[in-house]
């Protein structure tokens, strides 16, 4: 399967990649391209391999086959992990969590300075929780935790924002608020967005391109192509219907 667009501002090229752990191949023959400032969502059920693909793209896992290429050089990632992956036993404040996003810049042997604390505060204010900077991360609500992690990803001015199941454990209102926030920061910071999620509805009205993963199969297309009855019915093998409510597309 091949990505359907090409661009001069190509940021990422995934060429015939097989992703997995050890000798276990989770996904094979992956081909797609992402341009700068794109908004790509990888959609699949739990265990489908979308997080494996994300970790492979980030370089946390080596591809079992094929190449991950960054034509303009490896970009600066702003990584937003699943909230549960951040250990809450460590008694750290929201500000301290966000400051960690600057550690790569500060470097080893150097301490966190006042300017770094101020930058962290600005990032928290940008995502709407500046007043919670001194509160412990574990005491925040699910949505506030997610905003903290987005602030941590943004604080070092990334070129690509990478989000892993960032709407897990959020209710519909929380999910919508976070998706709108990502739209805002994407435009404000002029960054590309790459996210994985299990909910097609969550990204249907936000992403520009969608990669769907199911039973080891992968397809990649612009959102306008994906959000059609025929396309989804053909891909999933069951009857799917896309309806439009208040200008927003919903899959039933």
Partner 1 sequence: MFFKFTRFAPIFALLLSLFGSHFAWAQNIEDVPLEDPPLALEEQPYSPEGSAGAASQTPLPTPQNGFGEHRHDEAEPIAEETLSDPNSFIWQALFAGLVVAVLCAYLGMYVVARKMVFIGVALAEISSAGIALGILLGFAPLWGALGFMLLGVFLLSQRYAPRRLPPDAPVGVFYVLATAAAILMIAKSVEGEGHMLTLLRGDVLAVYPHETLQMLAVFAGIALVHALFGKEFLLVSLDRDMASTLGYKAARWDFLLFLTIGIAVALSIRSLGVLMTAAMLILPAATALLLAPRWKIAAVIAPLIGIFAVCLGLYLSLVGDFPASAVIVAVLFGVFGPVLLWNTVVRKH
Alpha carbons 52 and 41: distance in angstroms, whole number: 14
Q: Can you read off the two tokens belonging to residue 43?
A: 């959609």
Residue closer to partner 1 by CB (options 58, 250) is 58
Q: Rounded to the nearest 10 degrees, how much is the dihedral formed by the CA atoms of 78, 84, 88, 94?
A: 40
**Binding pattern for the stretch 84-113 against partner 1, x by CB under 8 A and - elsewhere:** -xxx-xxxxx--xx--xx-xx-x-xx-xx-
Pure H helices in the chain = 50-58, 94-99, 103-106, 114-126, 142-154, 172-189, 200-203, 223-226, 229-236
Candidates 55-63, 120-128, 173-181, 191-199; binding stretch for partner 1 (CB under 8 A):
55-63
- Number of residues interacting with partner 1: please give it, by CB under 8 A: 30
237 lines the binding site for partner 1 (CB under 8 A): no
Upper half-sphere CA count for residue 113 (Cβ side, 13 Å): 6
**Binding pattern for the stretch 186-225 against partner 1, x by CB under 8 A and - elsewhere:** ----------------------------------------
The only residue of 5, 79, 235, 236 in contact with partner 1, by rule CB under 8 A: 79
Alpha carbons 215 and 44: distance in angstroms, whole number: 9
Using CB under 8 A as the binding rule, the residues of this chain from 107 to 166 that contact partner 1 are 108-109, 111-112, 136, 152, 156, 162
To partner 1, the closest distance from the beta carbon of 149 in angstroms equals 9
Contact at 8 Å (CB) between 95 and 133?
A: yes
The burial of 115, by beta-carbon neighbours within 10 Å (0-12 exposed, 13-18 middle, 19 or more buried), is given as exposed
Return residues touching partner 1 (CB under 8 A). Answer: 55, 58-60, 77, 79, 81, 85-87, 89-93, 96-97, 100-101, 103-104, 106, 108-109, 111-112, 136, 152, 156, 162
């Amino acid at each position: 399967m091949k990505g359907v667009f090409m661009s001069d501002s190509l940021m990422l090229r995934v060429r015939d990649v097989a992703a997995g752990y050890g000798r276990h191949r989770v996904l094979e023959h992956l081909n797609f391209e992402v341009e700068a400032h794109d908004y790509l969502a990888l959609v699949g059920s739990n265990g489908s391999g979308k997080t494996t693909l994300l970790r492979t793209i980030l370089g946390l896992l080596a591809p079992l086959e094929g190449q991950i290429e960054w034509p303009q050089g490896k970009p600066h990632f702003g990584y937003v992990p699943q909230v549960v992956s951040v250990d809450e036993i460590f008694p750290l404040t929201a500000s301290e969590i966000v400051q960690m996003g600057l550690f790569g810049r500060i470097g080893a042997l150097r301490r966190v300075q006042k300017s770094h604390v101020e930058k962290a505060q600005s990032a928290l204010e940008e995502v709407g929780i500046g007043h919670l900077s001194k509160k412990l991360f574990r005491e925040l609500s699910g949505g506030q935790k997610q905003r903290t992690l987005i602030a941590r990803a943004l604080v070092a001015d990334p070129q690509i924002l990478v989000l892993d199941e960032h709407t897990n454990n959020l209710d519909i209102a929380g999910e919508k608020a976070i998706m709108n926030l990502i739209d805002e920061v994407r435009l404000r910071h002029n960054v590309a967005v790459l996210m994985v999620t299990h909910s097609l509805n969550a990204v249907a009205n936000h992403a520009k391109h969608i990669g769907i993963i199911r039973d080891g199969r992968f397809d990649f297309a612009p959102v306008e192509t994906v959000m059609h009855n025929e396309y989804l019915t053909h891909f999933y093998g069951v009857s799917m219907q896309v309806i439009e409510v208040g200008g927003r597309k919903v899959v039933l």
